[in-house]
Amino acid sequence: MFKKLLPNQYVQSIYEIDLDQLKQKGIRAIITDLDNTLVEWDRPEATPEVREWVKRIKEHDMVVTIVSNNTEKRVKAFADPEEMVFIHSAKKPMRRSFLRACLQMNVKPEETVVVGDQIFTDVLGGNRAGLQTILVVPVAKSDGIFTLLNRRAERFVLRWMRKKGMIQWENQE
């Protein structure tokens, strides 16, 4: 069970993801979470830095899709101005939305990486779907009420995994 909660990689932010290295590993597509991965959960629009990151992904001949548990209204308001493809109300960590995103991007699961800030939704869902996973530190220190509950459980699991030597990265608390 705990193995499915382990990301393949851990970085401080999306900007630390080495797109050249992903390409070398055969990655052709990125599935990204929205809230607290790309921008703060309460920020309605993309920042200039996020726009530049998405542009760099496209320059690497990679495709990107947002997969979010949030509502269509929230995700559409963010994604449409950026001309980004998205799946809302994804029910992560269920595999269905991750696999649907792969189909829409015309890539195989092994050619896809999931980027997100939560192990119980993004990492678990991506791993269950057979995708590579990258965990990022949340953009904001605040969260919605349901995410707050997830974060508490996440901290417990991360401490346990660190104690067992399963992870070596610095504490993200």
Total Cβ atoms within 10 A of residue 105: 19
Question: pTM of this prediction?
Answer: 0.88
pLDDT at 173 (0 to 100): 45
Whether 95 shows a pLDDT value over 80: the answer reads yes
8 Å CB contact between 116 and 126: yes
Distance CA 169, CA 173 (A): 12
Q: Which residue has the tokens 């993004």?
A: 122
pLDDT category of residue 171 using cuts at 50, 70 and 90: low
SS3 118: coil
Looking at residue 168, its pLDDT comes to 72
Query: For position 160, what pLDDT does the model report?
Result: 80
Q: pLDDT of 102-157, one tens digit each?
A: 999 999 999 999 999 999 999 999 999 999 999 999 987 766 666 667 777 788 78
- Which pLDDT value is given to residue 158? 79
According to the model, what pLDDT value does residue 29 have? 98
Q: Which amino acid is at 144?
A: G
Predicted local distance difference test score (pLDDT) of residue 33: 98
**pLDDT range class, residue 41, cuts 50, 70, 90:** confident
pLDDT at 1: 61
Structure tokens at 119: 């192990």
pLDDT at position 147, please? Answer: 66
Selecting from 3.40.50.620, 3.30.70.260, 2.60.120.10, 3.40.50.1000, what CATH number does the domain 2-140 have? 3.40.50.1000
Q: Please tell me whether the peptide bond between 138 and the residue prior to it is cis, using omega within 30 degrees of 0.
A: no
Query: What are the pLDDT digits (tens) for 55-70?
Result: 999 999 999 999 999 9
Query: What residue spans define the domains of the chain?
Result: 2-140
Rounded CA gap, 32 and 134, in Å? 10
